[in-house]
Amino acid sequence: MRVSYDEMYGVVMEKLEKYGVTGDVAVGCAQNLVENTQYGVASHGINRFPRLIEMLKNGSVKPDAKPVRVGSLGAMEQWDGNLGMGNTNAAFCMDRAVELAKELGIGCVALRHTNHWQRAGAFGARAAKAGCIGICWTNTMPNMPAWGAKDRHIGNNPLVMCVPYQDDYVMIDGAMAQFSYGAIDSAALSGRELPVPGGYDEQGNVTRNPAEIKKTWRVLPIGFWKGSGFAILLDMMAASLSGGMSVCEIGKQGATPTDEYNLSQVFIAIQVTDKAANDETVRRIIADIKSSNPVEPGLEVLYPGERALAAYHESKQRGIRVEEAVWQTVLAL
Amino acid sequence: MRVSYDEMYGVVMEKLEKYGVTGDVAVGCAQNLVENTQYGVASHGINRFPRLIEMLKNGSVKPDAKPVRVGSLGAMEQWDGNLGMGNTNAAFCMDRAVELAKELGIGCVALRHTNHWQRAGAFGARAAKAGCIGICWTNTMPNMPAWGAKDRHIGNNPLVMCVPYQDDYVMIDGAMAQFSYGAIDSAALSGRELPVPGGYDEQGNVTRNPAEIKKTWRVLPIGFWKGSGFAILLDMMAASLSGGMSVCEIGKQGATPTDEYNLSQVFIAIQVTDKAANDETVRRIIADIKSSNPVEPGLEVLYPGERALAAYHESKQRGIRVEEAVWQTVLAL
């Protein structure tokens, strides 16, 4: 089914207020959740909203907490999220990194004691819309084995890189696991094989069968040892720079793997001084990629983020796509 | 065979001077090449030295060029490498990013018109030894197809993240391709299969057979579409921030795929204000990873960079390992 922006925003606002979220935090949170869904990322938009309400109810997310600066070194600042709303904390910190970048060329904000930011790419996009290159990442629950291990001690730690381009941007928003738990669950439910190997079965063989992977949750890092290494470094940098929790500590504080709270994040913005030159560079790179010989005749080679932008424009025209069952669950919150 | 540091350094210095490299540039270049080999990365150390001499001879690398600052915004600077020596240009720029970070918390240097920096990790390590977190990346020749394409329009664009730890560091130094051309060549020569899939055969099937991959050079990005996306963004950021060449332009200037020169790079250093707290965070993360259940009983789960550090300590004790044929080639330069 499809729902208009105004309708989805209205319902989300009503539910947020019902559970104690008010003012700027409610507005920012609702805008973020609805926009993520507009961009075709319902998994980190409306589909996650019931889980956010659950976390508001169980006290993991504090509805009235605001981020507070705890350290400043010029272009680099440390903030404490006070366990407040993850997506508004993150938006605030990327905006602060942009302010620093406007003044000093580059800005970095490390944020501790924050919560799940929903769609990682939203904050890269935020930097780009303000005329900056945006880089950001978060740590997570231990949800992936380190390379050489069977059990989960590292996070999939999503990493975003975003470059402004014309009125929009080019962006990669990717976790260090080949597939999210949601993607594996959803493939298992519909009986589909994954398009590429996503983890291991109980015999220790790499497999595309999501039901087999669900028996082990031994998911594959992107690039095997490489994604494992990048994930570990992203966690070390986030925990060290923010003074907050590392992946292993996040894992120890919760009783179940869904208790993902009290995270550490880093936001970097870099000023693009000559927007026209930047756009021309990006345009040439896109044109060159699109001149590639596609794997099948007639297929278009897409640039990173192109599919999400197309989904956004479709949502604007035709309403936001949402699964009926999800929407009914949201209405009943 | 093994060669002492002094012997290898002496020979490299002698050859550099023979081909017109003198003073600080010769010293820095020789130190870098020998150290890379000490760290077990001969592929980006002594093994690449004949190719560097070739580039000095054909004029791609200007022996007496020095980097010059062309833009400054506070904590962010643009430098022009003037097609000088790649590894000394890169060391200079990471050192400059560290200076900015010491003053302003974070520093970023974007470098254009530079050359191959040999081992990417050397510059992350440089930041860490100076008490900073180091992040850096380079673009390359078009050496990998974008996701959805068969022919090579994007670079494998190595990315480094490095966190100081005790007297050393933890570091990931990884290109966006699953395997380097060198690794594929070397597996093909010895008739070994690659440990995981590394590219496509002529029928468009993913394969671990290096000889088949060499027929297409359709190599796999790490994480399929994800590594392709990260590679494209790393190139866009490097070319936009530096004002230098993008991957497609680097590809157009050279007659053969070995003519990899005139690259764009980015160096970011972030100050670690409390080294003791940083070390404790990193120590806990390493301890947790090492407490994993290994894929085979008795195997140790390694942290990123641990193997290279072990190689370094072995090289210090027993001399630097070098292939006899490579050493003879170097001596004959």
- B227, B232, B291 member nearest A303 (Cβ): B232
Positive or negative torsion for Cα A215, A221, A223, A228: negative
Q: Looking at CA atoms only, how far is residue B299 from chain A in angstroms? A: 8
| Model confidence band, residue B189 (pLDDT cutoffs 50, 70, 90) | confident
Q: Looking at CA atoms only, how far is residue B55 from chain A in angstroms? A: 26
- The predicted-structure confidence for A306-331, as pLDDT tens digits, reads as follows 999 999 999 999 999 999 999 999 99
Higher pLDDT, A258 or A216: A216
Written as six digits, the tokens of A248 are 């292993």
Q: For residue A55, count CB atoms less than 10 angstroms from its CB and return exposed for 0-12, middle for 13-18, buried for 19 or more.
A: buried
| Model confidence band, residue B185 (pLDDT cutoffs 50, 70, 90) | confident
List of residues 6+ apart from B137 with CB closer than 8 A: B120, B157, B158, B159, B160, B234, B237, B238, B265, B266
| Model confidence band, residue A12 (pLDDT cutoffs 50, 70, 90) | very high
Q: Looking at CA atoms only, how far is residue A29 from chain B in angstroms? A: 27
What are the φ/ψ torsions at residue A153 (nearest 5 degrees)?
-120, -5
- Touching A: B residues 290-319, CB under 8 Å: 291-295, 299-304
**B116 labelled catalytic:** no
Written as six digits, the tokens of A305 are 């983020």
- The predicted-structure confidence for B13-72, as pLDDT tens digits, reads as follows 999 999 999 999 999 999 999 999 999 999 999 999 999 999 999 999 999 999 999 999
Q: Looking at CA atoms only, how far is residue A147 from chain B in angstroms? A: 7
Residue from A237, A245, A238 nearest A60 by CA:
A245
- The predicted-structure confidence for B258-282, as pLDDT tens digits, reads as follows 578 999 999 999 999 999 999 999 9
Residue from B166, B123, B87, B156 nearest B267 by CA:
B123
- The predicted-structure confidence for B230-246, as pLDDT tens digits, reads as follows 999 999 999 999 999 99
- How far is residue A185's CA from residue A180's CA, in Å, rounded to a whole number? 9
- How far is residue B13's CA from residue A162's CA, in Å, rounded to a whole number? 42
Residue from B198, B185, B200, B225 nearest B150 by CA:
B200
Longest dimension (CA), chain B: 55
Identify all chain A residues contacting B288, using CB atoms and an 8 Å cutoff.
Answer: 153, 246-248
What are the φ/ψ torsions at residue B176 (nearest 5 degrees)?
-80, 0
| Model confidence band, residue A256 (pLDDT cutoffs 50, 70, 90) | low
- A161, A178, A293 member nearest B223 (Cβ): A178
DSSP state of B220: P
- The predicted-structure confidence for A140-170, as pLDDT tens digits, reads as follows 999 999 999 999 999 999 999 999 999 999 9
- What number of H helices and E strands is found in chain B? 12, 13
Identify all chain B residues contacting A96, using CB atoms and an 8 Å cutoff.
Answer: none
DSSP state of B175: -
List of residues 6+ apart from A218 with CB closer than 8 A: A145, A150, A151, A152, A199, A200
Cβ–Cβ gap B248/A288 under 8 Å: yes
Structure confidence at residue A189 (pLDDT): 87
- Touching A: B residues 48-67, CB under 8 Å: none
Return mean pLDDT, chain B: 96
Q: Does B143 touch chain A (CB under 8 A)?
A: no
Cβ contacts below 8 Å, chain A against chain B, sum to 259
Cβ–Cβ gap A233/B272 under 8 Å: no
Identify all chain A residues contacting B277, using CB atoms and an 8 Å cutoff.
Answer: 240, 243
Written as six digits, the tokens of B163 are 């966190």
Q: Is the pLDDT of residue B255 over 70?
A: no
Return mean pLDDT, chain A: 96
Q: Does A325 touch chain B (CB under 8 A)?
A: no
Structure confidence at residue B186 (pLDDT): 86
Q: Does B240 touch chain A (CB under 8 A)?
A: yes
Cβ–Cβ gap A284/B248 under 8 Å: yes
Q: Does A178 touch chain B (CB under 8 A)?
A: yes
Specify the 3-state DSSP secondary structure of A1.
coil
| Model confidence band, residue A283 (pLDDT cutoffs 50, 70, 90) | very high
Structure confidence at residue A255 (pLDDT): 54
Axis crossing angle, helix A49-57 with helix A324-331, rounded to the nearest 10: 30
Specify the 3-state DSSP secondary structure of A205.
coil
Specify the 3-state DSSP secondary structure of B117.
coil
Structure confidence at residue A318 (pLDDT): 97
Which chain B residue lies closest to A251 (C-alpha atoms)? B288
- Touching B: A residues 257-286, CB under 8 Å: 268, 270-274, 277-278, 281-282, 284-285
- Touching B: A residues 190-219, CB under 8 Å: 196, 204
Which chain A residue lies closest to B252 (C-alpha atoms)? A288
- Touching A: B residues 22-51, CB under 8 Å: none
- A174, A237, A288 member nearest B229 (Cβ): A174
Identify all chain A residues contacting B301, using CB atoms and an 8 Å cutoff.
Answer: 146-149
Structure confidence at residue B256 (pLDDT): 57
Average pLDDT over residues A209-219: 94
Positive or negative torsion for Cα B47, B50, B55, B61: positive
Structure confidence at residue B272 (pLDDT): 97
- How far is residue A304's CA from residue A121's CA, in Å, rounded to a whole number? 11
Q: How does A111-149 read in b/e, with b if 16+ C-beta sit within 10 Å?
A: bbbbbbbbbbbbbbbbbbebbbbbbbbbbbbbbbbbbbb
- How far is residue B42's CA from residue A215's CA, in Å, rounded to a whole number? 41
- The predicted-structure confidence for B284-326, as pLDDT tens digits, reads as follows 999 999 999 999 999 999 999 999 999 999 999 999 999 999 9
What are the φ/ψ torsions at residue B295 (nearest 5 degrees)?
-65, -30
| Model confidence band, residue A186 (pLDDT cutoffs 50, 70, 90) | confident
Structure confidence at residue B44 (pLDDT): 93
**Helical ranges in B151-224 per DSSP H:** 181-189, 210-216
Cβ–Cβ gap A150/B71 under 8 Å: no
Is the interface score ipTM higher than 0.85?
A: yes
Q: Does B133 touch chain A (CB under 8 A)?
A: yes
Residue A329 zone, left/alpha/beta (φ > 0; ψ -120 to 50; rest): alpha
- How far is residue A77's CA from residue A97's CA, in Å, rounded to a whole number? 8
Cβ(B94)–Cβ(B270) under 8 Å?
no
Strands A206-207 and A261-271: unpaired
Which chain B residue lies closest to A102 (C-alpha atoms)? B73
- A145, A285, A293 member nearest B150 (Cβ): A293
Residue labelled with tokens 């949201």: A330
Average pLDDT over residues A290-294: 97
How many other C-beta atoms are found inside a 10 Å radius of the C-beta of residue A205?
Answer: 10
Identify all chain A residues contacting B104, using CB atoms and an 8 Å cutoff.
Answer: 73-76, 104
Positive or negative torsion for Cα A92, A95, A101, A103: negative
Beta partners for residue B115, in sequence order: B261
Q: Is the pLDDT of residue A229 over 70?
A: yes
Q: Does A74 touch chain B (CB under 8 A)?
A: yes
Average pLDDT over residues B100-115: 98
Q: For residue A85, count CB atoms less than 10 angstroms from its CB and return exposed for 0-12, middle for 13-18, buried for 19 or more.
A: buried
Structure confidence at residue A192 (pLDDT): 94
Mutate: best of B178, B292, B307, partner A, most A CBs <10 A: B292
How many other C-beta atoms are found inside a 10 Å radius of the C-beta of residue A195?
Answer: 13
- Residue A170's alpha-carbon distances to A72, A163, A306, in angstroms, are 30, 5, 7
Higher pLDDT, B284 or A256: B284
Q: Is the pLDDT of residue A258 over 70?
A: no
- How far is residue B221's CA from residue B200's CA, in Å, rounded to a whole number? 11
Cβ–Cβ gap A237/B77 under 8 Å: no
